[in-house]
Amino acid sequence: MSANVFIFAPADKSGDTHQAMEAAGCQLVLGSASWETPMGDNESEMVAMAKGADAMCGTSIRSTPITRRVMEASENLRVIAKYTIGVDDIDVDAATEMGILVTNAPTESNWGAVAEGTISIMLCVMKKLRERDRHLKSGGYWRDSALEGAYIGAREEDGYPGITLGIVGLGRIGARVSKLMRPWGIQILACDPYVPSEKFGECGVEQTDLKTLLQQSDVVSLHVTLTKETRHMIGEEEFKLMKPDAVLLNTSRGYVVDEAALARALENDVIAAAALDAFEDEPLDMESPLRKLGDKVLLSPHMIASNRGVGLLGAGVQWGTRSVLAALRGEVPDCVFNTDVLPRWQERFGGKSIIG
C-alpha cells in the first residue's frame, strides 16, 4: 500500500520526517515555499502538485493559501496538517464541506514563546528601552522627560496606579500572558466569547466585552485566530474607543488589525504606540506607512516565538507528520481544528489504512 503526500511548504531541513513518511509507504511531492520564503508556488502549480494527494502538510504559506481549488485536485484527500498553530492560510470552511481534516500543531515551544515575546515588546514600548538606549549611545545621559516610561507594577496609593492590560482572546497564548503578568499585581481585563466563564477566574482576569476592554485598557494585546469574525476586528472605530496613550500589541495574525487604520491612528495620535509581529501581507511592504512611524511602532518580522536553542518548527513538523500518518491509517489525529467534519470523515476514511 502507498499514499501520496504533498508537502506544500517543507520545513524539515534534516529530512527525518520525510524519511519516516517514505518508510511508511508514502510518495512525497515537495513545494517550494518555506517559513523564511513564504512566497512559494502559485495556485495552478499547487493544483498540479496536489493532484492525487491523500494528505497535505507544511508550514505557513502566504503566496497561495490552500484554496478549494487546490483541495479539489484530489478526491481522496484526507488531511491537511499544519506544522504551526495558525490555519488561516487554509480554506477551512471548504475543507469541512469536502470532508477533509485540518490539523495544527500547538507546540508549547511556539505558543509559550509567543506569550514571552508579547510581554517583551510590551515592556520595551512602555519603558521606552529603545529611546533610552539611543539617547545614551548618542552622547546623552541625564534624565529627559521624553524618556520616561510607564509604571507597570501593582496599583498603589502613592500616585503610581500601574497599567490595565486588556487581553483579547483567552486561548493558550492569552492565558499564558495573564499567568505571567499576574505576579505584577496589575488589573487584567479579558474578552473571549468562545471560552467558558470559569476560565476567566482560573486565569485571574476580569471578564468583559471588547468595547469596555478597549475603553479601559492601557495596553491591548491581541491573541485570536484569524477567522471571518476576527478579520479587521480592530479598525478605525475601535481605535477611537481606546485611550490616547494606549498601546496596541498584535502577535496573532496581521489581518486581525486594519493596518491602514492603525497607521492613521498613530499618525494622528489617536493612540500612542503599537508593537506588531504580524502583518496583513508578509514580508511587510517597503512602502508601508508603518515603516515610517519611528518609535511609535515596534516591528518584528513574524518571529516573536523564536528562541535560541529551541527549534521554532521542529516539534511542529514532527506533530504534523504524526497527524498525516494517523489520518492515512484511518485514525483521527489529535488537534483537529475543524471538529465538525469528524462524523463525515469517519464515514469516509475511518479505519481504512492506505499505508503499511
| Catalytic site residue from 18, 223, 302, 322 | 302
3-state class (DSSP) for residue 26: strand
CA distances from 333 to 52, 108, 292, 322 (A): 21, 18, 45, 8
Polymer length in residues for the chain: 356
Q: Vertex 25, ends 22 and 31: CA angle to 5°?
A: 50
Q: Is 143 exposed, middle or buried (0-12, 13-18, 19+ CB in 10 A)?
A: exposed
User: Is 302 assigned a catalytic role?
Assistant: yes
Q: On the CB side of 135, how many CA atoms lie within 13 Å of its CA?
A: 15
- Distance CA(185)–CA(346), nearest Å, equals 48
Residue 348 backbone dihedrals phi, psi, to 5 degrees = -80, -45
* Sign of the C-alpha dihedral computed for residues 27, 31, 35 and 36 taken in this order: positive
Any idea which residue has 467534519 for its cell? 341
Q: Which residues share a beta bridge with 33?
A: none
Which strand (E) or helix (H) includes residue 75? none
Active site residue: 18, 176, 223, 253, which one? Answer: 253
User: Residue 29: which H helix or E strand, with range?
Assistant: strand 26-30
How far is Cα 85 from Cα 79, in angstroms, rounded to an integer?
16
CB contact at 8 A, 345 and 332 = yes
What nine digits make up the cell of 324?
Answer: 498525516
Q: Considering just the CA atoms, what is the radius of gyration of the chain in Å?
A: 22
Catalytic status, residue 18: no
Cα–Cα dist 221/123, whole Å: 12
For residues 210 and 191, what is the distance between their CA atoms, to the nearest angstrom?
A: 6
Rounded Cα gap, residues 154 and 233, in angstroms: 30
- Among the listed residues 282, 329, 344, 348, the single catalytic one is 282
Residues serving a catalytic function are 253, 282, 302
